[in-house]
Amino acid sequence: MSSIGTEREERIRWWHRLPRGRPVERHQALIEAARGRRVVHVGFVDELMASKIAQEVWLHARLAAVASSLVGLDSSEEGVAAARAEGYEAYVVDAQSAEAVRALGLAPADVVIAGEIIEHLDAPGPFLRAMHEAAPRLVLTTPNAYRLLNFLAPISGSELIHPDHTSWQSPSTLRTLLERAGWEVERIAYYHNPTRRKVTGTASQRAVTHGQNAVRVVLAQVNALVPYWSDGLVVWAAESTRRS
């Protein structure tokens, strides 16, 4: 084979087709994945948990309403204690450690739901391997590296990112990460973020929430036309038959 042909093939390997299709609503996709199933919800504690409970958008509570059983895993002792006080089954664990997850001795589950957690981790590869200890199926969401705001924010000389995030994922990098960890990707789609179902708080807080909801509605309409700029990615995966 000529060097020209080799270079051309190498260039082709760098090009990856992006998923197509209308974005789904993030919470609704995870709720449907949990419906009627035994669920392990990893990273269920939210820094705005009290506010989200009041506004009826705390994901863990919404999953509990449809799952046949639900177990929460998180590294936050305070958050796990608060969930237990509300009657939820929850455990403190380092979900990046397969040994730690295995030591919990969890009852068999159908699916792990990992919503908006992988971008916070120091070790996403070990985390994905550890999830084999919890269930044979995995559904996760994470912000999209190509979301529209990522291109607009730099115009101001700034970037818009959660201070605890350690990475961005694209459809291709996420697929590679999952496959290396022994998961077979069944589907990748885009999501848009849910609006607040209840608007509570002071007048100024309500105004901010209304503004956020308005922005999310507009972005959802834009993303319906150009899905590649959507807020995030949702992936459905199963244990790979090639996993050793």
Q: Residue 133: what residue type? A: E
Prediction pTM value: 0.85
Q: What is the pLDDT of residue 11?
A: 66
Mean pLDDT of 201-226: 65
209, pLDDT greater than 60? no
The residue-averaged pLDDT of 65-81 equals 97
Query: pLDDT value at position 216?
Result: 65
d(CA 70, CA 203): 36
Q: Are strands 232-239 and 137-143 parallel, antiparallel or unpaired?
A: antiparallel
Count of Cβ atoms closer than 10 Å to residue 218 Cβ: 10
pLDDT higher than 70, residue 217: no
At 12, give phi and psi (nearest 5°).
-65, -35
Alpha carbons 208 and 199: distance in angstroms, whole number: 10
Indicate the SS3 state at residue 37: coil
- Evaluated on CA atoms 130, 133, 136, 142, the torsion sign reads negative
Look up the CATH architecture of domain 18-239.
3-Layer(aba) Sandwich (3.40)
List the domain boundaries for the chain: 18-239
